[in-house]
A and B are shown apart, each in its own frame.
Chain A
Amino acid sequence: MHKRPKGDRPVKEPIRKPWIWVVMAIILLAAIPWYLPGGTVSPIILGMPYWAFISLVFSLSLCAYLSWLCLYEWDVVEEEEERARADAKREE
């Protein structure tokens, strides 16, 4: 495990957390209609076939999930950078 050279927040790197990728795989597989009976259309939900609605819901979940991961599960050098930036500002 890499530790921060100095700092109090733990490094967060998505590749090191298996659950992140398991959830991603589940969303991907749920969004593709391989598990639904071929050739079916009904019921129609919000003007689209039910399977397309399911697929759309999971596609949007993927957007939300990835967006959330970027913001909250990625923290590698931010602290170091922001501190350097603050130091530079102080010197000015």
Chain B
Amino acid sequence: MQDLTFGGASGIIVLVAYAAVMLLIGYFAGRGQPNVRESVKSYYLAGGGLGFVALFFTLYATQYSGNTVIGYAPTAYRTGFPWLQSIMFMTFIIGAYLVFAPRLYAVAKRESFVTPADWIRHRFRSTAVTLLAVLLMLWGIGNYLLEQLVAIGQGISGLTGDTVPYQLGVILFVVVMLAYAWMGGMRAVALTDVMQGIALLVGVMVLLGGSLYLIGGSLGDATQYLIQNEPEKAQVPPLDVSVNWLSLVLMVGFGAAVYPHAIQRIYAAESERTLKRSLAGMAWMPPITTGLVFVVGIIGISLFPNLGESESEQLVGMIANEVAAINIFFYIMMILLFGGIVAAIVSTADSALLSFSSMISRDLYARHINPDASEARQVLVGKLWGIVAIAVLLVIAWNPPGTLYSIFVLKFELIVQVAPSFILGLYWKRLSSWPVFFGMLVGAMVAGGMTLFGIGTVYGVHGGVIGLALNLAICVVGSLVIPATKEEAARAERSAELSVR
């Protein structure tokens, strides 16, 4: 990834400081809730009592990761102004939440849900549907976690000028992450997210300030440069780019909102009022996060013209090197930015890991392996399987299995297939379990198959969206052909009643 000329000893100091703060937060979060080892709800959902600040930042840190800076600036560099779409697709996540979160929140509070599959079990009473959903979510979130682990290693080796080897960096930070999550569960994850989210936000703002300083302070100049040298990046894009834009908005919006850890944040809110306020605030975060990163990428075009695809991936590092050379203030700020990027990746990884553990311990272990297990034992099993999962993922990350590697890219395509069971299931009492099962299966196979065979989009529409459309069609047509029985429909209606008691 980045070759940072300013990295090295100071980078190590910042990383150690960040790690120490995370551990301290975890320690105090654990002390603040004595039953965190004995109660599933306490460990995985902070007892369903996250307040506004913690909920807001944990939503923020979960939706925005290191890739939001490291990956999106180069995309803006290569795409030009059409990458404005990154503001829109991050905003639309809130629109997708509005489709189902109001009702899901009420039901989850009443029924004390812990994992996303709890809703599916409660609504469909079908082991096949629930297990398939759990497997899709585990597979998807496992790969998502793998991506974050690789990024942590790259971030750390970049920031420390390779003085800390990639493998060692990952292991050290994973140990820190596991330690604070073990001590304080979801509350520790959410409180460290506050620190990590602020670090990312401040870093992005300083990166933008430094980039503007480098080009003499005017975005207009960057635009003029673009129009003269690479006009296609400034012109109204062709129609297929627009179709792709809309497809991405829908896919990211619904996908990010139904990620298991995103759903568990609905469960963890202390009240509807808190959840509403946090989401209302989140709606304003894309312009000041992906929006600013977009501007950095556009400025990058005039700072470092004509980079190839792989060179452009280094863009944030290149800009940071130039900015750090301005003066000591910017130097310190760039160190903090990259520390913040690492922290942001960790904050996304910890949410994914906690969600992964909760599904293993609740949906597989307590449900199918040892139904008599105490809650304390369930928490312990979740923790231990979390370690096993991380170990397996690290082995994969360091020894990528050649030809099979593409099955480890399937994340989003699989997870988004559970969306109909949540969204249609909440509002349409006629939706019955078998169509949901086959819809999920076919949708996952089509979307996954397209990804495996390298067919990214058809006429600008993403494979995930095509799979989801098929999935929806099977759910709807299947439920119309073989409707739910009267009892099933009545039960479905009861299962989604709007009351918390």
Contact = CB atoms under 8 A, between A and B. Distances in A.
Contacts of A67: 94, 280-281, 283-284
B497 interface: yes
Interface stretch (B101-109, B144-152, B361-369): B101-109
Contacts of A59: 84, 87-88, 91, 286-287
**Chain B's interface: helix, strand, loop or mixed, by majority?**
helix
B220 interface: yes
A15 B36 CA distance: 36
A81 B81 contact: no
Contact of A52 (B81, B106, B272, B277): B81
Contacts of A86: none
Contacts of A14: 98-99, 102
A39 B81 CA distance: 12
Contact of B271 (A44, A66, A69, A82): A82
Interface residues of A, number: 50
Interface stretch (B25-33, B156-164, B234-242): B234-242
Contact of A15 (B99, B249, B287, B500): B99
Nearest to A48: B223
Most buried by B among A2, A48, A85: A48
Contacts of B223: 44, 47-49
Nearest to B497: A2
B84 A56 contact: yes
Interface string B211-244: 0000000111011100100010011111100110
Interface residues of B, number: 54
A50 B242 CA distance: 16
Nearest to A81: B271
Interface string A35-76: 011111100100111011001100110111011111100111
Interface in B485-501: 497-501
Most buried by A among B85, B98, B237, B249: B98
Most buried by A among B227, B239, B498: B498
Most buried by B among A11, A29, A70: A70
Contact of A48 (B81, B91, B427): B81
A47 B218 contact: yes
Given A32-B242, A49-B234, A76-B498, A70 B94 contact: yes
Contact of A31 (B88, B95, B271, B427): B88
A35 to B, nearest CB: 9
B256 interface: no
B122 interface: no
Contact of B242 (A5, A34, A62, A64): A34
9 contacts: A11-B498, A28-B249, A31-B88, A33-B236, A38-B239, A66-B98, A74-B102, A77-B500, A81-B272
Interface of A: 2, 4-5, 11, 13-15, 20, 24, 28-29, 31-34, 36-41, 44, 47-49, 51-52, 55-56, 59-60, 62-64, 66-71, 74-78, 80-82, 84-85
Given A15-B427, A67-B280, 10 more contacts: A2-B498, A15-B102, A28-B92, A34-B242, A34-B246, A38-B239, A51-B236, A70-B279, A74-B276, A81-B272
Closest 3 CB pairs of A and B: A47-B220, A34-B242, A70-B280
